[in-house]
Amino acid sequence: MRLDYLTIFPDFFAPLELSLPGKAAASGLLEFHVHDLRQWAHDRHRTVDDTPYGGGAGMVMKPEPWGEAFDAIGVDADTTVVFTTPSGEPFDQRVAEDLATRGRIVFACGRYEGIDQRVIDHAREIAEVREISLGDYVLNGGEVAALAVTEAVVRLLPGFMGNAESLVEESHGASGLLEYPVYTKPRTWRGRDVPDVLLSGDHGKVAAWRHEEARRRTAQRRPDLLHPSVLDDGTPIVRAQPGDAGEILTLQRACWLQEAQANDTLDIPALHESLDDVRAWLGEWDTWVVRRAGRLVGAVRGRLEGADRWDIGRIMVAPDLQGSGLGRVLLDHIQAVAPAEATSYVLFTGAGSVRNQRMYRKAGFRLRPDLPAPPNAVVLTKRR
């Protein structure tokens, strides 16, 4: 793979000679070429920027040096030009994996208020263009972002890593989870011990512990990554927004009317809540919804009760989708996003809701007649 960098600060890319990227370049796996954009500026001051049309603060990078640079370094249809910009698509592991398949990438590192839009439009006519952002913040220029993208991409190249298996269980890898905690010698350090399971020699138990720790860490730090595809069309589970309250109320009444019929009672709180009631509890519960073709078809909520109990409730599935498995997926999801301190789950359902109780028992929940329950309901719990 060949990587070119167009910048007005070439010294920013000295780190490319260090560590594994430097070794890969020395072995011929990679080629790094850093170009000073000012060599294509022809006035006495080697000017690469000018004031913006339309007024406004700051300066804009001129198109002429960029056009000449693209011509000089041979940007063509076999090149991918990456413009590092806060207005680009979010950079993640999937984008890194895609870029790792390219033969040549040219990083166009902007400065000031950005690069004249005509440069990007021109680049699209002669090459593949990706506008990429590291995140929702602004840097002084594109060089730091280009280095970060480089690190993420080149380590995926065959032959780059000494042990390719080290890529398998990393954060944001194929599992979609953050990486589990890791430990090394000594066994005890400043009163803190390595978990016993890692010293057991039981590979199955170690694997199970690592997976559970990865899920726990992901739920605590990045619950947005725990969006399983819930339907055949890949519809995700997403956090409820205040604007969802009206649709949640409609879905709730449809679902709990069925519960009223199954339990022969209208004395069910969910049936009597107002729109304001739903808006109020949306601010108190961690609530997730599923939309299909723009329609809200499922919802679930959870919140921590006491120090360590995750209270699960309001598992709702549109009547025409009941029996499709969506309810079980919602149940699995709300357990997965429970905070790390939760050690048990608790929920209740109607005493006459046989289908609901069957689903909960299959998911590992057990009836708890010893615990107080709302009228006409039963309580079920499960240890995490």
| Residues in the annotated binding site for S-adenosyl-L-methionine | 110, 134-139
The set of residues, in sequence order, having a beta carbon less than 8 Å from that of 168 and lying 6+ positions away, is: 174
Task: List, as residue ranges, the binding site.
Answer: 110, 134-139
Q: How many whole angstroms separate alpha carbon 363 and alpha carbon 229? A: 18
CA atoms within 13 A on the CB side of 328: 14
Q: What is the DSSP letter of 59?
A: -
Q: Token match 């995490």: residue?
A: 384
Q: Phi first, then psi: what are they for 371, rounded to 5°?
A: -105, 145
Q: Side chain identity at 4, as an amino acid letter?
A: D
CA atoms within 13 A on the CB side of 27: 11
Nearest to 81 by CA among 61, 110, 59, 60: 110
List the beta bridge partners of residue 312.
302
The answer to whether 181 and 187 have CB atoms below 8 angstroms apart is no
Retrieve residue 35's tokens: 């170009």
The answer to whether 130 and 83 have CB atoms below 8 angstroms apart is yes
Distances (CA, A) of 235 to 45, 265, 322: 55, 34, 16
